[in-house]
Structure 1
């Protein structure tokens, strides 16, 4: 019998991964918000892996509550994730996937790009996604993982925040509002540099973002989380004394 895989947060994304793990032959133990992880860790002290699939607003609280026996088993998949998030919780290097498929209630998973994975359990995640026909690939360094995390953050934040001003989809953002897209993207990258503690190749990242645009041209820009993402970005900018003029302009008009 294989050791179970614990899935903390059985929403749409968590359920996709759980199905993949089950098809690989692993028992899966779901954990909801009301359950005590420390108590559960007494029953499952040595899981094969622990997937944290809560939303980005809950990730810091959940990471602070991870039982000691699970800390070296973690798989993370949140948007807006950076190394500072697991380091702040004093956790060892987790396995991390930058998820480039969308899963909403009542619809099949929609792939934008193959999803990159890094870490000790990268092959486990890769194999689980293959079982549910979702493309992924394994990156071989923390540097490449950081690029992939920043690229996803750039995509999410640029489309959401620009969408507060121009609406529409990503194809329209690229073709009809390139000035807004570029201004927002450069502000976002300033914040990402502050949060990650290093500068990034803006040209490579914007090219990578546009590759994702081409993967799903009709993807709507402004998700329901857009106002919260803008507020969170401005909080970071304030801490770092960053000007981010375009983000502040959009906030004055949209929030």
Structure 2
């Protein structure tokens, strides 16, 4: 029997990955909300992978309390993920999945672009995704930062600009290109501060547009968009970065709120 896989968080993503691992013959042990990971780690100290499939707002508490036996076996897949997110917890070499498919409850997944995977257990993840026909590929570690920032640029630009425009990504680019470009530029300022790296802006913008072309009918905003805007503004404030476009979008949202 193949080694087990532990999945922390069994939402839509956790469920989809579980199906892939099971198809490849790996027993899957879910960690549900309220469960004690320490107890599972005592029973399964050396799983093939511990996939952290919680949302981005839950990531840091989960990593903070991660059993020591699992810390070298982690897989991460959150939106807005950057190396500083795992490094602050003393985690040095996770397997990272830059998810480029959309999965909503009760609907099949919708691929936007092939999903890149990097890290020591990338092969295991790619095999499991291929088993359920999710387009994916491994990437070298030196490409990971670009792929993470490209996905962040895509999701933050469409979510935040979409708070003003609504509509799809193709409509955002065709009808509101100046807003999209200004939003993206400010997002990249923030990403450079978070990564402490001078980023290849032209390549990243082109990469974002590949995402637009991959699913032109993708809806720009979702329920998490206002929270993404607040986080971006918090980062900008901490860094001393001017964000006139993001600030104007936030002010417009506030003005549209009914008076209490």
Deviation of 1:33 (Å): 1.6
In 1, distance between residues paired with 2:251 and 2:219? 22
Partner SS state of residue 91, structure 1 = coil
Partner SS state of residue 242, structure 2 = coil
- The structure 1 segments of at least 4 consecutive aligned residues displaced by more than 6 Å after TM superposition are none
Match of 2:15 in 1: 15
Q: Give the alignment's TM-score, normalised by structure 1.
A: 0.98
The reply to whether residue 212 of structure 1 matches residue 214 of structure 2 is no
Match of 2:93 in 1: 93
In 1, distance between residues paired with 2:106 and 2:3? 31
In 2, distance between residues paired with 1:240 and 1:106? 40
Partner SS state of residue 50, structure 1 = strand
In 1, distance between residues paired with 2:224 and 2:167? 15
- Unpaired segments of 5 or more residues in structure 2? 255-260
Deviation of 1:92 (Å): 2.2
Partner SS state of residue 200, structure 1 = coil
Residues 1-255 of structure 1 mapped to structure 2, 5 A cutoff: 1-141=1-141, 143-255=142-254
In 2, distance between residues paired with 1:146 and 1:33? 30
Deviation of 1:3 (Å): 1.8
Deviation of 1:234 (Å): 0.5
Deviations 1:109-141 (A, max 9, x none): 100000001000000000000000001011112
Q: Give the alignment's TM-score, normalised by structure 2.
A: 0.96
Deviation of 1:180 (Å): 0.2
- Unpaired segments of 5 or more residues in structure 1? none
In 1, distance between residues paired with 2:247 and 2:112? 29
Partner SS state of residue 72, structure 2 = helix
In 2, distance between residues paired with 1:249 and 1:104? 30
Partner SS state of residue 58, structure 1 = helix
Counting matched residue pairs gives: 254
